[in-house]
Structure 1
Amino acid sequence: MSSSYLTFQQGSCEPADEASSSSDSEESGSNCGESLESLVDESKEKMDGDEVNIGELLDSFESRGFGPLLLIPALISISPLGTIPGMSIVTGSLIFVIAVQMIFRSGHPWIPSRLETISFSRERFDKTIEKMTPWIKWIDHWVCKRWGVMTAGPMHYIVAVVMILLSLTYYPLAVVPFGVLLPGTAMTFFALGITMRDGYLVTLGLIAACGAAYGMVALWPF
């Protein structure tokens, strides 16, 4: 995967004024890139049938680089779907596989077929997206291109290694109700930062990762 997925200009981001005109919104969108809500809507449009599997979700974002591919399991891990027994193992494994390939900048991320075939009902998927929509809109309100140094150069590898280590915590924490919430939050910050080109979110991810590491040490063996 080329570094163009992760390199961007530094800038600042200010929340949009609710009274702003449509032209202002379009200008903001051009500065901040495609919104997370539009990415989610695009994914929903590509889903059909009574069930949704992991492979279909990943395929819907395949051409957009590592960020969205990481964002899907990260969001699932902190959403109601993450409470499905064994789902933490699935999401942790997906993040591990994708993050390892980030280090080698693989041009086409590979996912084990066994993980791709894991599915859940379309109704549950739609209800989860509906519950998360207000949060997605809130995130879009604040996310923007900034702090480029946090996602370019050596930070690309540092973030990948941290995500690999965090993904390994998903396995022991799978037996703890909502045990992956903190590492999942860190993963979500990382994935959002890469997807939306926001180094500020990557920094928050590093802070959350430190909190997750401290929690693992303090609570072990639960």
Structure 2
Amino acid sequence: MSLTETPAAPPRTFSQVVESLGQGDDPKLTLDEVVDAFGDRGLGALILMLTLMALLPWPPGGKAVFAVPIIILSVELALQVNEVRLPRWALKASLSRVAYRRAIGKALGPIRYVENLTRPRLTVLTGAVPEILMGIACVVLAVIMALPVPFGDMLPGLAMMFFALGVMQKDGVAVLIGVFWSLVTAAYLILIWATVAEIIQRLAGWFAHLFG
């Protein structure tokens, strides 16, 4: 290396990119800007970022705005597409940068903590076939997250976050944690479905008795 050359700066970590997105002159943070910020880091980083954004408090129907691009990216992961492709209308989706900074500020600590724990290990669980399966699972989980189910966003969100971490960091342990939260999500939905079915059955019996 010559005296005039300077060593290349190390790539920014995921948490550093997340924090930098809170800065900017535009009061709105667009999905297009998020995609540009992560560049060629891959689908895992974008799925993780969008899942974090979807878990912020939103008015009814707000989470579906993020569920759609997550589904598209998950399909691309399942199809092993290397290039991020999102429709123009999705890239225009935005949120207040002030609200983003406020929410992400509270989450940066846990994000950095988990980020420091992840590393390449059990890489047999992060190859092409596992990525295809994780992509399919994330499609289902994103649909569940958008449904109006009590606490129905947090559980699938956790599963997708760990799947995305596994893909991004080549960490098989994170993938296994994602599988665990996927199973918890499935068990919770079964419980909700059984409860709703029981309530409907009891109401039907009550009406039958009342008008019979």
Distance (whole Å) between structure 2 residues aligned to residue 164 and residue 213 of structure 1:
14
- Unpaired runs of 5+ in structure 2? 1-9, 197-212
Q: Report the secondary structure of 1:111's partner residue.
A: coil
- Following superposition, the deviation at residue 131 of structure 1 comes to 0.7
Distance (whole Å) between structure 1 residues aligned to residue 96 and residue 127 of structure 2:
38
Distance (whole Å) between structure 2 residues aligned to residue 110 and residue 153 of structure 1:
19
Q: TM-score, normalised by structure 2?
A: 0.79
Q: Corresponding residue for 2:100?
A: 125
Would the aligned equivalents of 1:34 and 1:196 in 2 still touch at CA under 8 Å?
A: no
Q: Corresponding residue for 1:59?
A: 36
Question: Aligned AA for 1:55?
Answer: D
- Correspondence for 1:150 among 125, 131, 147: 125
Q: Corresponding residue for 1:40?
A: 18
Change over 3 Å in CA distance of 1:207–1:43 after alignment to 2: same
Question: Aligned AA for 1:69?
Answer: L
Q: Corresponding residue for 2:191?
A: 218
Q: Corresponding residue for 1:159?
A: 134
Would the aligned equivalents of 1:62 and 1:69 in 2 still touch at CA under 8 Å?
A: no
Q: Which moved more, 1:193-202 or 1:181-190?
A: 193-202
- Following superposition, the deviation at residue 42 of structure 1 comes to 4.5
Change over 3 Å in CA distance of 1:84–1:72 after alignment to 2: farther
Q: Report the secondary structure of 2:176's partner residue.
A: helix
Distance (whole Å) between structure 1 residues aligned to residue 12 and residue 30 of structure 2:
25
* 1:112 matched to 2:111: no
- Following superposition, the deviation at residue 104 of structure 1 comes to 2.2
Distance (whole Å) between structure 1 residues aligned to residue 154 and residue 33 of structure 2:
24
Change over 3 Å in CA distance of 1:87–1:196 after alignment to 2: farther
> Which structure: larger Rg?
2
Q: TM-score, normalised by structure 1?
A: 0.75
Q: Report the secondary structure of 2:149's partner residue.
A: coil
- Following superposition, the deviation at residue 210 of structure 1 comes to 1.0
Amino-acid identity (%): 26
Q: Corresponding residue for 1:134?
A: 109
Change over 3 Å in CA distance of 1:85–1:54 after alignment to 2: farther
Question: Aligned AA for 2:182?
Answer: A
- Unpaired runs of 5+ in structure 1? 1-29
Question: Aligned AA for 1:94?
Answer: P
Distance (whole Å) between structure 2 residues aligned to residue 197 and residue 82 of structure 1:
30
